[in-house]
Structures are given as C-alpha cells and as structure tokens.
Amino acid sequence: MSRAFIALLIFLNLGAAISAQHQPTNVRNVEQEVITAIQRRLDALAHNDFATWASLVADDMISPLGGNKQNWLETHKNWPREVKYWYGPLKNIVVRINGDTAIAVYTAEQFNEIGGQTTSANHWQIETHLRRQGRWLLAAVADSVIPPEPAAARVDSSVYESYVGQYEWAPTLISTITREGDKLVEQLTGQSKGELLPESETTFFYAGAAASGDSSRIIFVRDSSGRVTHYIYREYGASDRIVKKMK
C-alpha cells in the first residue's frame, strides 16, 4: 500500500539525522558532492544551459517510458524561448553512497512558465548517480507528483458511529475503525493509528499522507437499509479494492 511510503520517508529522514553525526567526514563530503551535482544540473535546466546539463548526465541515462538523454535534449532544445522550466529548493534530500554509485531521494516544486502563466506541482524524485572519471553523473531517474491534501469538509461527527468496526483486507490484515471524540481513526494490524479526515460525509483521506504521494481514499458504502457493509479503498490510477465490514 502506498501508505508504507510515508513510513519509508520518515525512516530515511530520521536515519539521515541520526547517522549524519556518526558518518566519517569523507562520506559526508561525497554525499555533498552528489547534492552539488544535482543542484548544478537543475540550475542548468533553469537557464537552458544544455551543455552543462549534458555534462552531468550519463549518455546511457534511463527514465520511465523509454526516456533517455538524447530524447530529453531534443525535446528541450526545440521548446520556444517563451517556455521556462525550473525547480524550487530541494527538500527532504537523502543520499546513500555505495562505492561509485549514489542514490538520492528528494522533493521539490517544479515550475513551468508558458506565455506568462506559471504553473507548479510538488514532486518526489529518486535518482541514481554513477561516479565516472571523478564526476557524478545522473544514470537513472523517476519522479511522481505529490498530490495536494484536500481541505477537510465539515461533517457532523455523529455519522462516524456507523463507520466504527473491523474491516477485512485479509484474514491477517484487519482495518479497525474507531471514533475518538470528534475524530475518525483507523489502525491496520501491526501499524500505528492514523486519523481519517472527511472529504465528504462518506469519503475520507489520510491526514498528512498526500505529502508522500498518497492519493488514496476510503469510501464507506451502505446497503439499501442504510447499514455500512464495506468500504472502497481507492487510489488514483489503480483499481478499487473492496474491504468488507466484519463487525
């Protein structure tokens, strides 16, 4: 489930904070070299400096959907001058070094200006870099939009009582829905509790989950008599999962 990605980010960030104090200076220096290479590449992109950008990208670089260095250069070089594309400050960056290979994970806001109108979207990005002839070169990249968290709707919390109960994903994975005052809370087997915020009277999202790219929703469903029979677990781009209410 995509909610696991939240725990992964927290683990990486906590791990980075704790281990940074115990890392040898040379390891921290190498990690900073990778971050500097990333920033130089993104700065070059913002200034349409394709020569610098290309010098920081491996010729055999790969990205999703068959993307490669040559296709990227051809596409961007053919853009009109009025098209601008750049990144905001890098956030939550974590770098791991293994010999001449580095993995970097970070989030950043991507901006696109066309015809005087600027749009933006928050992304998380994961990159693989290889050290070749003393330089760190981008070898592989993947990213995804971080969906904005919707504003919580105003819902009479008394409706939460009908949602309280246990819902079965599998015999060993149970979702327990409880009401804690005016909050609706879910706890999966072996996991910590998480608050469900209402997008509507029947549709809920996980508080803070959007920051990890989680677009999932829980949609409670009633039968003709008004009894809650299950909830639908829905993620953008994925098929729905029916989670039946046990009791």
Residues in the chain with pLDDT values less than 70: 1-25
Listed residues 110, 145, 180: the one ending a domain:
145
Look at the chain and report how many structural domains it folds into: 2
What is the pLDDT at residue 24? 57
Instruction: Specify if 152 maps to a domain.
Output: no
Q: Is residue 150 part of a domain?
A: no
Q: What is the pLDDT of residue 224?
A: 96
- Domain identity same for 134 and 220: no
Q: What is the pLDDT of residues 168-177, one digit of tens each?
A: 999 999 999 9
Antiparallel, parallel or unpaired: β 57-63 and 135-145: parallel
Same domain, 81 and 28: yes
Instruction: Answer with the one of 111, 145, 179 that is the final residue of a domain.
Output: 145
Select from 125, 145, 165 the last residue of a domain.
Answer: 145
At 42, which CATH number? 3.10.450.50
* 137 within a domain of the structure (yes/no): yes
In a domain, 107, yes or no: yes
- Please report the pLDDT score of residue 46 as a whole number: 92
Q: Is residue 195 part of a domain?
A: yes
**Per-residue confidence (pLDDT) for residue 6, from 0 to 100:** 43
Give the domain CATH number at 212: 2.40.128.50
Same domain, 125 and 187: no
Q: Are 82 and 203 part of one and the same domain?
A: no
Contact 150, 205 (CB under 8 A): yes
Spatial neighbors of 42 by CB under 8 A, at least 6 apart, are 86, 87, 90, 108
Three-state SS for 65-131 is: HHEEHHHHHHHHHCCCCCCEEEECCCEEEEEEEECCEEEEEEEEEEEEEECCEEEEEEEEEEEEEEE
Name the 3-class secondary structure at 147: coil
Question: Are 45 and 135 part of one and the same domain?
Answer: yes
- pLDDT at residue 10, as a whole number: 42
Query: Is 164 found in the same domain as 134?
Result: no
Range of the domain at 199: 157-245
174 and 78 share a domain? no
- Looking at the structure, tell me whether residues 131 and 165 fall in a common domain: no
Question: Are 132 and 224 within one domain?
Answer: no
136 within a domain of the structure (yes/no): yes
Residues 140 and 162 in one domain: no
Residues 156, 237 contacting (CB under 8 angstroms): no
The answer to whether residue 62 is domain-embedded is: yes
- Tell whether 91 and 115 lie within a shared domain: yes
Our measurement of the distance from residue 15's CA atom to the centroid of its chain's CA atoms, rounded to an integer in Å, reads: 18
Name the maximum alpha-carbon separation found in the chain: 71
Domain check: are 224 and 189 in the same one? Answer: yes
